[in-house]
Structure 1
Amino acid sequence: MKLGIDGKKALVLGASKGLGAAIAVALANEGVQVVGAARSTAAIEALNAQVDTAAGGKIWAQRLDLGDKASVASLLEQVLKYGGVDILINNSGGPAPGEARSTPLDAWQSGFDAMVASVIDMSQQLLPRMVERKWGRIITLTSSGVDTPIARLAVSNGLRQALVGWSKTLASEVAADGVTVNVIVQGRIHTGRVDQLDEAAAKRTGSSVEDVRKASMATIPAGRYGRPEELADVVAFLASEKASYITGAKIRVDGGMIKSV
């Protein structure tokens, strides 16, 4: 299927590994000119080995630390200097595990700065160029915790909810301008972050990582963890011309794990 986005420009946050890397590759393979942003630029540049050169897309690396306001401002300056982007993929790392009753306030503040404030700032500054062109896509990755809060992930559960409310509100404001705004609710996609959480659970319970993983997979109707490429394909479709009537939505990519309707 031709998605109609070849030649478009995209900015993918957190592109050095995991879901961000898979999304950057998926978009580049659709002919998109992708700026991948993360702390490790070498890892982003290496992603071009996975891009089909015949498709015409390419990935460029820019350094970004979402928790550093100066770093965010520097990236925005560079991107805006070259005309902004058509597609923005908001993807931030997750905070450390912790219980709601004992997580210190500074952990909430640092999490808010990196996961919420920086994402909203980036989106607001890149949005005017999309509105001017009457075409744009803003896609924000969250977690299954926004639908079913995950034990011991208090900061993630709380702050990602803020992004869902912001995204839905923004979607209604810019729909008539040809800009769609959507949220991805991911389940257990096999990335380094999931491995870290499984390892933490194993240490906490005295179980093996393999036993923790098997127990986790048993809660997923699909019977396995998702692959980053599976989620990336959904994101590429939402970024496409063919998804122009999908906005203000929460799209689950979870293998049926989330029990609520």
Structure 2
Amino acid sequence: MNRVSVITGGAGGMGVATATVVGRDHTVVLCDVRGDRLEGAAQTLGGLGISATVVNADVTDRAAVDRLFDTATGLGDLVSVIHTAGVSPSMGDAEYVMRTNALGTVNVNEAFFATAGGGAAIVNVASMAAHMLPDEMIPKDKFPQALSDPDAFMTDMLAACAVVPEELQSGISYALSKSFVRWYSTAQAERFNTRGLRIVSVSPGSIDTEMGRLEENAGAGAMVADAAVPRWGRPEEMAELLAFCASEKAGYLTGTDILNDGGVIASMTERARKASA
């Protein structure tokens, strides 16, 4: 039977790059909210000999996500999900960023939990931003509400964003939402293992994609220049890591986050230490 891998955000640079790797030995399902871009992504993959099934769906819509998984399981055994779908601060306000990145992650992961068979894995894309906020700005005690009371979760997250001026709130929302993704991928590991499932998150740095470049003038460019590896990451580099984490080769890997940022956080931490010494 076909081994099926779902890639959300499948029309984006990271999604297409990942499909190029995973599609070598899996049936690929690409999901994206941008229907027009999906067809282009499928054509790109087709030119590489990879046939992809496309599903136009918004990850913030749980019913649409459930239909996505119905499509995937109808094609064979669902063995992996690589959840790259998300938005950056330049793409919307704090509410939009939080709902897409945090609640979208809950929708995709909970559908995976309900659907996938033993041995399957889900890899969530967080961000190096999840490693930047001080702990006192991250209301982790409110994070579990995302599973039980999404409205209360949103209220509390937006209140946490409101500690900064309005023009900065989408940036704080992004960091908080990706902190949530990192938390969820750790906190749910034991529960997922009750069904023989693995869950991992990967935190990219500044990646040379359309979405990544949107943040170039909002601070990402300076961080790249000051990183241990002073360049933008390539989508292909992220794709290989995401595909590995989802594969059987990483069968002992679960409940953790992998920071793949070219040394940005390491460099910032060391500079801060030296400055305070």
Change in 2 beyond 3 A, CA 1:121/1:66: closer
Contact 1:33 1:59 in 2 (8 A): yes
Residues 68-100 of structure 1 deviation map (CA, whole Å, 9 limit, x = unaligned): 4554344344334446621111122324349xx
- Aligned counterpart, 2:176: 158
User: Comparing both structures, which one devotes a greater share of its residues to helix?
Assistant: 2
In 1, the alpha carbon distance for the partners of 2:86 and 2:104 equals 12
Aligned residues: 231
In 1, the alpha carbon distance for the partners of 2:76 and 2:105 equals 19
In 1, the alpha carbon distance for the partners of 2:61 and 2:257 equals 28
Query: Tell me, which stretches of 5 or more residues in structure 2 are unaligned?
Result: 135-163, 271-277
What does residue range 102-141 of structure 1 map to in structure 2 within 5 Å?
A: 107-130=93-116, 133-141=117-125
What does residue range 36-75 of structure 1 map to in structure 2 within 5 Å?
A: 36-38=30-32, 39=34, 40-49=37-46, 51=48, 53=49, 58-69=51-62, 71-75=64-68
Q: What's the offset of the Cα at 1:226?
A: 0.9
Residues 36-64 of structure 1 deviation map (CA, whole Å, 9 limit, x = unaligned): 1111321221232453x4xxx53221112
Change in 2 beyond 3 A, CA 1:240/1:76: closer
Residues 184-231 of structure 1 deviation map (CA, whole Å, 9 limit, x = unaligned): 011111111221112456xxxxxxxxxx84x44321111211110001
Query: 3-state DSSP class of the match of 1:85?
Result: strand
In 2, the alpha carbon distance for the partners of 1:50 and 1:164 equals 35
Question: TM-score scaled by structure 1?
Answer: 0.78
Change in 2 beyond 3 A, CA 1:216/1:110: closer
Q: Which amino acid aligns with 1:163?
A: V
Change in 2 beyond 3 A, CA 1:249/1:108: same
Change in 2 beyond 3 A, CA 1:194/1:126: closer
- Aligned counterpart, 1:175: 193
In 2, the alpha carbon distance for the partners of 1:126 and 1:66 equals 12
Question: TM-score scaled by structure 2?
Answer: 0.74
Q: Which amino acid aligns with 2:87?
A: G
What does residue range 81-92 of structure 1 map to in structure 2 within 5 Å?
A: 81-82=74-75, 85-92=78-85
Contact 1:17 1:43 in 2 (8 A): no
What does residue range 20-39 of structure 1 map to in structure 2 within 5 Å?
A: 20-29=15-24, 31-38=25-32, 39=34
- Aligned counterpart, 2:225: 218
Contact 2:224 2:231 in 1 (8 A): yes
- Aligned counterpart, 2:159: none
* Alignment RMSD: 2.8
Query: Tell me, which stretches of 5 or more residues in structure 1 are unaligned?
Result: 1-5, 99-105, 202-211
Q: What is the percentage of aligned positions where both structures have the same residue?
A: 21
Q: Which amino acid aligns with 1:117?
A: L
Contact 1:26 1:236 in 2 (8 A): yes
